[in-house]
Structure 1
């Protein structure tokens, strides 16, 4: 009886302590959310000016010299330590104690070979180049997070590494950053991408596979040219190419589990130009995609086998190039479940649960996947859709436009994701 009474008293005290702890923790989190969002909003003009300067002066993969110089100048003004260069034009800033735990945030810097067709005061000043995928916003939001985190550096329970990365658009810049040590001792990494399908002020993601493994290929089927009136004197590569294209379409429908997402698209065919001449060769090419990296590797192998085999059946020869030097294959993005839940919790805290949405898997590629092959990672989307200003077009469109209200929101989310991660994983 005495033991039961003592135990009951102890249990009551424990429950009271836990209830008070939860209340204090909730109050602290709410105050933190208000503070970080307020601080970020105060920097909106600063963020907008940076984003517009980057947008007006787009640079392609591994040519981001002016963008990199601008970032470094802002970090110098803020007194934030950084290392440079990584992957030719990239850099890594570091904020915090320098000790573990270490978490990384990443933004890409490169633009697209695209002519901007949006008429506004800050459109691209360079013909044929455009920030048509939002990397100018990614870079700006990470700079904003750097400023917010630097103000709170003495409160950080660990270290944040901020990766400003070149060459995402086909250059596999992430793989070069990794090889040159950009991750340092990071145990987790977060990335953020703008999303034209969701409204500004919302985020979305999914755990597990989210973006495809991607590669490209080109093939040349060689026969023997001749006059169209005497096809028996030729070895017709057009017929061989036709059979080849049809055979390639069977790889997905007949060799892949219907529950495994894969894509094979032939995107061009080039042959002769004369109406009465059978050409000596046909060129074709396209892209391969799979929600698993293993699936992409198998698809690459089968594409080569099918093209060479079909050409041989019709007495032609084939040369297949997977374009790995110019367009390195990207692995699939796979979001760590624990990090995904962390982003959802932080997003709910800052933006409200109603603005944390379930994301969609898509067959686009992202070189953030290279980081996820080394350490756990989470890439999530942040909404930029605003119909009133025309922010409704998809990335890689010449009409792509974004709502600049996203800039302080993204900066705050980036900063909070990192700071709360360190708080939750600190051993002190």
Structure 2
């Protein structure tokens, strides 16, 4: 005998009321998002001025004294309270009621050790340092969001924490921020990155794995130096290193699942320079990447096994250094599914559905993952590509150039992600009651 599922009775009037309420909420959110965008555009001159001042004076890792001072001056002028220092030169500002729910927004501030090769009025004034990854724009957009949110602080249904973070570029500054309590009681966090592959103002969203888990390695293979004429008596680290590098490539081609993403790159090889004498040792190194943290752990294990095995075959000794004291490994950035739905909705409300595209998985690393290890997080990208002004070069290029029209859109996006999240959270709470 079959069974029949009996759904609970829901009055039609209640369903209609919920539909009308949801529709009104969407239209209300859209009007609010567009209002934020319009207001952000009216602040464009200020945003550009702030960004250029940061760009002209790039600083590395945790040594962000001038950058941090500039941000604090702007927050003081806006009347936004903050805590400083956090993670040496980081800042945590707070806007809203001070009570739950709490949502966090993060921007990285540090530059790269590159010589800027773009000739323009606001070129880097510091030799060998450049904002070639757009962190100056991230910082500016978060300041823009602070200004937008602070004007509405009495209307916020909770609290927004703004994290201005040092040392994303290899310094794992996010980990220090987390350890020093930057998240507070935040239950979700949003981060943003500019994207030179998409037109200015277009937003890319992706759920699940988004950026790779990464680490670096340095291998030293020790042999026995001798004149090349006595080849029978020496222990050749050059041959051992060559065989090892070839064997490591087999990890990707023969052991890794081809449907998953792994990268093992040997980026340098260094030995002696004499033509008639074998070196005592050869050193080489590079990076490991995987779209899962478990995948990175597997690569690290197999790297060590292969290197030690090949060294033994060639009668050499070896030392494997995963450089974890110098460069903390980054976990994979994995975007929360629920926050993806929120980010996708807010982005479409802000710029229109036609300017919101599915994002691509990228094998670059990002220490935003350390926040996601504690609370649900979402990392979103926004386009800056503009061929007319030369904003076409990849990140970490000395020719990198930014289309500053992204600044108002990014500011409004940060603000809308936070404010509408708080509003939605309150609405859900009231319905449950």
Please indicate, yes or no, whether the TM-score normalized by the shorter chain is above 0.5: yes
Which residue does the alignment assign to 1:333? 333
Give 1:226's aligned residue.
226
Q: In 1, are the aligned partners of 2:118 and 2:401 still within 8 Å (CA)? A: yes
Q: Please give the alpha-carbon distance, in whole angstroms, between the structure 2 residues aligned to 1:384 and 1:131.
A: 14
- Two-structure CA RMSD over aligned residues (Å): 1.2
In 2, the alpha carbon distance for the partners of 1:331 and 1:16 equals 45
Alignment match, 2:72 = 72
- Match of 1:389? 389
Q: Tell me the SS of whatever aligns to 2:232.
A: helix
Q: CA deviation at 1:15?
A: 5.0
User: Matches of 1:22 and 1:191 in 2, distance apart?
Assistant: 27
Distance 1:97 1:51 in 2: 29
* Shift in alpha-carbon separation, 1:26–1:303, aligned structure 2, 3 A: closer
Deviation per CA, 1:56-91, whole angstroms, max 9, x where unpaired?
000000001110011011101111010111110001
Q: Indicate the SS of the match to 1:364.
A: strand
2:130 is paired with a residue whose SS is coil
Q: Tell me the equivalent position of 1:109.
A: 109
Q: How far does residue 14 in structure 1 lie from its aligned partner after superposition?
A: 3.7
1:217 corresponding residue in structure 2? 217
Distance in 2, matches of 1:172 and 1:15, equals 49
Shift of the alpha carbon at 1:388? Answer: 0.6
Q: What is the CA distance between 1:31 and its match in structure 2?
A: 2.1
The whole-number CA distance in structure 1 between the counterparts of 2:314 and 2:393 is 45
388-397 or 296-305, larger mean C-alpha shift: 296-305
- Residue in 2 that maps onto 1:98: 98
Shift in CA distance, 241/15, structure 1 to aligned 2, threshold 3 Å? closer
**Match of residue 170 from structure 2:** 170
Deviation at 1:22, TM superposition (A): 4.0
Q: Distance in 2 between matches of 1:187 and 1:16?
A: 32
- Give me the whole-angstrom Cα distance separating, in 2, the residues matched to 1:214 and 1:238: 27
Could you tell me which residue of structure 2 aligns to residue 203 of structure 1?
A: 203
**1:190 — aligned with what?**
190
Where does residue 343 of structure 1 map in the other structure? 343
Shift of 1:12: 5.4
- 1:11 to partner: Cα distance: 4.8
Contact 2:29–2:420 (CA under 8 A) maintained in structure 1? no
Hey, what does 1:39 align to over in structure 2? 39
Counterparts of 1:284 and 1:17, CA distance in 2: 67
Looking at structure 2, the residues matched to 207 and 63 of structure 1 have their Cα atoms a distance apart, in angstroms, of 34
- 2:380 is aligned to 380
Q: Give, in whole Å, the separation in 2 of the partners of 1:64 and 1:299.
A: 34
1:153-198 Cα distance to aligned partner (Å, 9 max, x none): 0111010000000000000000000000000000000000000011
What are structure 1's unaligned runs of at least 5 residues?
A: 1-9
Specify the alignment match of 1:302 in structure 2.
302
Equivalent pair of 2:335/2:377 in contact (CA under 8 Å): yes
Q: Deviations over 1:324-375 (max 9, x none)?
A: 1111100000000110111110000010001110110011000001111111
Partner of 2:407: 407
Match of 2:365 in 1: 365
Q: What is the match of residue 124 of structure 1?
A: 124
Helix, strand or coil at the partner of 1:232 = coil
Give the secondary-structure state (helix, strand or coil) at the position aligned to 1:143: helix
User: Quick one: distance in 2 between partners of 1:65 and 1:293?
Assistant: 33
Q: Which residue of 2 aligns with 1:60?
A: 60
Residue-by-residue CA offset, 1:288-310 (whole Å, 9 max, x unaligned) = 00111111112111111211211
Give the equivalent residue in structure 1 for 2:3: none
2:286 match: secondary structure:
strand
Quote the residue 1:139 is aligned against.
139
**Alpha-carbon separation, structure 2, partners of 1:321 and 1:17:** 63
Aligned residues between the structures:
419
Q: 5+ residue gaps in structure 2?
A: 1-9
Task: Note the C-alpha offset of 1:16.
Answer: 4.7
**Whole-angstrom distance in 1 between the partners of 2:93 and 2:337:** 27
- The whole-number CA distance in structure 1 between the counterparts of 2:125 and 2:367 is 27
Could you tell me how far 1:27 is from its partner in structure 2?
3.4
Partner SS for 1:277: coil
Give the C-alpha shift of residue 252 in structure 1: 1.5
In the TM superposition, 1:8-19 aligns within 5 A as 11=11, 13-14=13-14, 16-19=16-19
Contact 2:115 2:127 in 1 (8 A): yes
Asked if structure 1 preserves the Cα contact closer than 8 Å seen for 2:61 and 2:171, the reply is yes
SS of the equivalent of 1:94 reads: strand
CA shift, 1:29, in A, is: 2.1
